[in-house]
Chains A and B, each alone.
Chain A
Amino acid sequence: MTAQFLFGGAGLVLFALGIWSFLVHEPLLRKLIALNIMGSGVFHLLIATAERGDLPPDPVPHALVLTGIVVAVSATALALALGRRLEEEDPDG
């Protein structure tokens, strides 16, 4: 129980740090990293939920996290491409 809380709680802290960084920082790259940190926080929480002590872990949250990671990668890739396109248009901005 304690391990579960610590692991999941770390996820929540990551999530909050991600929001903070997203709100406070202007550059695209930092916002994207912030979003990915938020995502990691949520994934942490799910993995913590899966923990069952000596029993084999709950596979469902694991699968959800795998799906979530692929989705996050896709979104990050698209955002980076959009960002680079903007930079090409306006190298100073």
Chain B
Amino acid sequence: MSRRASLAVSLLLGLLTLLLLWVFAQALAQQPGPRLAELAATELPRSAVSNPVTAVLLNYRAYDTLLELAVLLAALLGIWSLGAASPGYQPAGPALEVMADWVVPLLILTGGYLLWVGAHAPGGAFQAGALLGAAGVILRLAGHQRAGLPSESSQRLLAVSGTAVFAAVGLATLAFGAGFLTYPPDWAKWLILLIETAATLAIGTTLAAAYVGGQPPENPEGVRSR
């Protein structure tokens, strides 16, 4: 892009920013009241979790989250469709190996904690899954070709599991007459935990596999025996 064009773009975007700021001020001034906050708080006891964000994610707007897991899966399938992963990096030096040996279990443990705590405090499947994914990234950086993940067929099952459990719960509630993704009150807590667990595994697997960046190698070299 030429200098003059980029200057023009800058100018236009400056004006756009001013306009947007003014509009945002107007929007705030419209005072729509508490928006959905009060409603979300009042319904919280019926949502089977006490963390309102988790209630929104896995109960009020669970269908959004189901689709979001599908987005994640689509990205992974797209990455795999592009062919084999590149070989990655040199095997790690001893210092990194030792660090990985310490950090990875810690990440997994923290992930498990975040998953459990998500029901009543900030945390949940996404945070937990992100930590698992990070563990995978560290393993890959440390020279593990498959980022610590099992074979491709198992990876597929793991990556699919989050969406699959979620969708299966939804269809099951539908089959029992409660409506799609409408949890029976007695079961809600356990169903949400089940979904979150599967989602954590799937998100962790998907993030790590996406970091590998292609179809995982069949017999990866550099797999360290543990």
Q: Identify the A interface with B (CB < 8 A).
A: 1, 4-5, 8-9, 12-13, 15-16, 19-20, 23-24, 26, 45, 49-50, 52, 55-60, 62-64, 66-67, 69-71, 73-75, 77-78, 80-82, 84-85, 88
Contact = CB atoms under 8 A, between A and B. Distances in A.
B213 A12 contact: no
Interface residues of B, number: 46
Nearest to A85: B82
B190 interface: no
Nearest to A66: B126
A52 B20 contact: no
A59 B25 CA distance: 21
Contacts, number: 116
Contacts of A67: 57, 64-65, 68
B68 A70 contact: yes
The 4 tightest CB contacts between A and B, nearest first, are A59-B52, A63-B56, A58-B37, A74-B75
A20 B76 CA distance: 29
B37 A56 contact: yes
Given A49-B35, A71-B71, 12 more contacts: A45-B24, A56-B52, A59-B40, A59-B53, A60-B36, A63-B64, A66-B53, A66-B126, A67-B57, A70-B68, A73-B207, A75-B71
Interface stretch (B9-17, B104-112, B138-146, B175-183): B9-17
20 contacts: A5-B24, A9-B21, A15-B20, A16-B16, A19-B16, A20-B9, A20-B10, A23-B1, A52-B37, A57-B37, A58-B40, A63-B57, A67-B64, A70-B71, A74-B72, A74-B210, A77-B207, A77-B210, A81-B82, A81-B214
Contacts of A81: 78-79, 82, 210, 213-214
A65 to B, nearest CB: 9
A84 B87 CA distance: 13
Contact of B57 (A5, A66, A75): A66
Given A58-B35, A73-B207, A84 B75 contact: no
A70 B13 CA distance: 27
B22 to A, nearest CB: 10
Contacts of B53: 59, 62-63, 66
B56 A59 contact: yes
Given A52-B37, A56-B37, A63 B24 contact: no
A58 B34 contact: yes
A19 B12 CA distance: 11
A24 B79 contact: no
A5 B25 contact: yes
A81 B209 CA distance: 11
A88 B86 contact: yes
Contacts of B57: 63, 66-67
